[in-house]
Amino acid sequence: MQIRSIEFKQRAAEALQDPILQRALNRARGGFVDKRAAAIADLPEFDALREDAARLKDHILDHLDYYLERYEQAVQRHGGRVHWARDAAEARRIVIDICRNAKARTVCKGKSMVSEEIGLNAALEAEGMEVVETDLGEYIIQLAGEPPSHIIAPAVHKTKDQISDLFRARHQRPRLTEVPDLVNEARQVLREKFFQADVGITGGNFLVAETGSSIIVTNEGNGDLTQTLARVHVVVSGIERVVPTLDDATLFLRLLARSATGQETETYTTISTGPRRFADVDGPTEYHVVLVDNGRAQMLGGRFRDMLRCIRCGACMNHCPVYSAIGGHAYGWVYPGPMGSVLTPLFAGLEAAYDLPNACTLNGRCETVCPVKIPLPDLLRELRHRQHDEGLTPAGERGLLRLWAFFAERPRWHERLSRLAARLLHFVGGAKGRIEKLPLTLGWTRARDMPAPSGKTFLEQWRARGRDDA
Amino acid sequence: MRDGRDAVLTAIRAALGRSANEANREVAPPARHVRPAVSDDLTERFQRKLESRAATVERLGSAHEVPGTVARYLQKWNMASRVVCAPSLAMLPWPKGSFDLHVGPARRDERVSITSCFAGVAETGSLVLLSTAATPTTLNFVPEHHLVVIRRDQIVRHFEDAWERLRRWNAENGMPRTVNVISGPSRTADIEQTIQLGAHGPRHVHVMIAEK
């Protein structure tokens, strides 16, 4: 899909003015955060698990080639096929070829962010195939013709009312208004599709080198019907998803469910290994895995390697004040929030996603909740440095930074100037102690007043109180 | 056709500063990870966790009580008498005529299935089911009611204990196509974060724990 991150400011402004979106976001905000907090309070070992998980991911990344080769051998041992895709176009071509060989007309899909990343649906549709998303959230946004706005709750921006209208229009049945009825209608419609599907495509949360298995987790069971009832099962996954053993996958699973939805476990964890066996009476007769690089190997060698630890739980966006205010669509691609603000510039370029690393308050909540301890604020700051080094930062901002740096390196001047500024701003603030308009900060003061300083600098107050009694 | 295989592996090795002849190096496996503490009464915890995720649980003296229990379950739900049963349970003393028992995978319109399982995990109250000729996967997902029989000695503490049993099983039988870990009925919260059971899979999961 087209990356629209360049329109971030405009779309963020629109999102803030959209009352329906704001209502949906408001409802979502507390839910995710509270449920996660409760799940973690229930597990005293949570922090120890995070330590282990971050360490294990680093170990895997250090030996990524080794584990991928062992994984590939194990898949082949069980009769599956492994395909390697350098980029999105190659990944699409591989999946199209598999579907063509299967003479596929209907393709069902379990939820997969990598398939969103490579723009798979549009490519299959262009080949004349019917592509059906089966995760309820993904199904809703597919009907609406929208990209996901959250990596685990893709339709979190939609209200029940909007979904009622959508189903009414697309299913051509009477309009339903209650959640159980809506879910039930989707169940009936999608049941038909599961049994029609020639190919079932799922993601892979983890790939197990020990057994050659792909693992998916769902609450709905849609991924299972997708892969069990179709003749061909295709797994699309990133190369960084491999883990050594089932025990290692378990460590991540303990963190994933709690971080994502505040559950101890999702309802279904499915470990798939190859096509149906000789004696089996159900299951697909072909099993393919498409390993997608698409920029990941390059990340492995540089400053952004930590980002490859990501297990796509969505906790960073659930706890992000910026995401909570504007939702996922403003970010302009498939990965929103803090993790998306790191990934999108790496995929799309520093300029095309210029605003994303800058639309961050560096409050650090994302890093605090990340189950694999990715230093997201540091990575966002590093992207800003690179934008600055490449001359992408606006001239005014660069000039001011240079000016500030000049004084910051000269403490006496800095203090004298601060003293002057503190007194001046105090005077401007007057009795109210607030400044309504200030040159250079018009964008900031348009929406709120700036609190005026007390008139004394920090150093002055520090000295007045005596350094030692602090 | 080799597709992007060599290019991707070469790019990974370049990023790691490794040469291709290091591909066959030995890598020391990662250390054992922390596991959550799990109280000693595994059966009690297994039941409690399952019930907390909207499954229903019944304790039986022995597996021979299963047919009678199934009959009562059908009566309670006032359901038509067709039941599909995993071949692994075909040898139970099913009574003639009280309900219409079929053995095999699930048909499209199946409402009730009965399966055995491979293990239970007390940690989260999860059932572990393998896809084999005697335990087809469709039984776990297509019907609205999924009834599962588990022996008490199949309940283990952690997932890692279940994987240990799986490795032993694999050594004899080979890895099954699918290992399904199931923790209650199907659910979704995709419409306004409202939890709704029976999204795509079974609306009801009923677990019978047999002493032997």
Residues of B in contact with A194 (CB under 8 A): 200
Task: Give, for B89, the enclosing helix (H) or strand (E).
Answer: none
Q: Out of A31, A183, A282, name the one closest to residue B196 (CB).
A: A183
Interchain proximity A280–B8, CB inside 8 Å: no
B72 lies in some domain: yes
- Contact predicate A86/A98, CB 8 Å: no
What whole-number distance in Å separates Cα of residue A281 and Cα of residue B138?
Answer: 9
A172 lies in some domain: yes
B26 lies in some domain: no
Q: In b/e form, how buried is each residue of A16-50, taking b as 16+ CB within 10 angstroms? A: eebeebbebbeebbebbbebbeebbeebeebeebb
Residues of A in contact with B174 (CB under 8 A): 277
Q: Out of B3, B33, B194, name the one closest to residue A83 (CB).
A: B3
Q: Closest Cα to residue B192, out of A170, A177, A196, A302?
A: A177
Question: Of the residues A297, A327, A342, which one is the last residue of a structural domain?
Answer: A297
CA distance B134 to chain A (A): 8
B138 lies in some domain: yes
What the block records as the tokens of B65 is 């009580």
Question: Of the residues A265, A297, A329, which one is the last residue of a structural domain?
Answer: A297
- Write the single-letter amino acid at A391: G
What whole-number distance in Å separates Cα of residue A409 and Cα of residue A400?
Answer: 14
CA distance A410 to chain B (A): 41
What whole-number distance in Å separates Cα of residue B28 and Cα of residue B55?
Answer: 41
Q: What is the ipTM of this complex?
A: 0.97
A164 lies in some domain: yes
A428 lies in some domain: yes
Mind giving me the DSSP string for A147-166? Answer: --SSSS-TTTT--HHHHHHH
A13 lies in some domain: no
Task: Number of A to B CB contacts under 8 A, please give it.
Answer: 254
- Contact predicate B88/A264, CB 8 Å: no
Which residues, including other chains, have CB under 8 Å from residue A170's CB and lie 6 or more apart?
A143
pLDDT tens sequence for chain A (470 residues): 789 999 999 999 999 999 999 999 998 887 899 999 999 999 999 999 999 999 999 999 999 999 999 999 999 999 999 999 999 999 999 999 999 999 999 999 999 999 999 999 999 999 999 999 999 999 999 999 999 999 999 999 999 999 999 999 999 999 999 999 999 999 999 999 999 999 999 999 999 999 999 999 999 999 999 999 999 999 999 999 999 999 999 999 999 999 999 999 999 999 999 999 999 999 999 999 999 999 999 999 999 999 999 999 999 999 999 999 999 999 999 999 999 999 999 999 999 999 999 999 999 999 999 999 999 999 999 999 999 999 999 998 899 889 999 999 999 999 999 999 999 999 988 888 888 887 777 777 888 888 888 889 988 888 888 866 54
Q: What range defines the domain where residue B146 resides? A: 40-210
User: Does A222 lie at the interface with B, CB-CB under 8 angstroms?
Assistant: yes
Name beta bridge partners: A271.
A215, B179
Question: Of the residues A297, A321, A355, which one is the last residue of a structural domain?
Answer: A297
CA distance A45 to chain B (A): 6
Residues A293 and A416 placed together within one structural domain of the fold? no
Which residues, including other chains, have CB under 8 Å from residue A458's CB and lie 6 or more apart?
none
Q: What range defines the domain where residue A186 resides? A: 43-297
CA distance A134 to chain B (A): 9
Quote the pLDDT of residue A434: 87
A368 lies in some domain: no
User: In a mutagenesis test of the A interface, which of B10, B12, B22 is the best target, namely the one with the most A β-carbons within 10 Å?
Assistant: B12
Q: Which of residues 1-60 of B touch A (CB under 8 A)?
A: 3-5, 7-9, 11-18, 23, 25, 27, 29-30, 32-37, 49, 53
Question: Number of structural domains, chain A?
Answer: 2
3-state helix, strand, coil in chain A (%, to 5): 55, 10, 30
A355 lies in some domain: no
Q: Which of residues 131-160 of A touch B (CB under 8 A)?
A: 134-137, 140, 153-156, 158-160
Quote the pLDDT of residue A428: 87
| Domain harbouring B132, CATH code | 3.40.50.10420
Question: Number of structural domains, chain B?
Answer: 1
User: In a mutagenesis test of the A interface, which of B107, B178, B207 is the best target, namely the one with the most A β-carbons within 10 Å?
Assistant: B178
- Write the single-letter amino acid at A35: K
Compute the C-alpha angle A70/A73/A74, nearest 5°. Answer: 85
B193 lies in some domain: yes
B141 lies in some domain: yes
Residues of B in contact with A272 (CB under 8 A): 177-178
User: Does A301 lie at the interface with B, CB-CB under 8 angstroms?
Assistant: yes
A360 lies in some domain: no
Residues of A in contact with B119 (CB under 8 A): none
B3 lies in some domain: no
Q: Closest Cα to residue A269, out of A285, A252, A283?
A: A252
B2 lies in some domain: no
B18 lies in some domain: no
Q: Closest Cα to residue A370, out of A35, A34, A30, A36?
A: A36
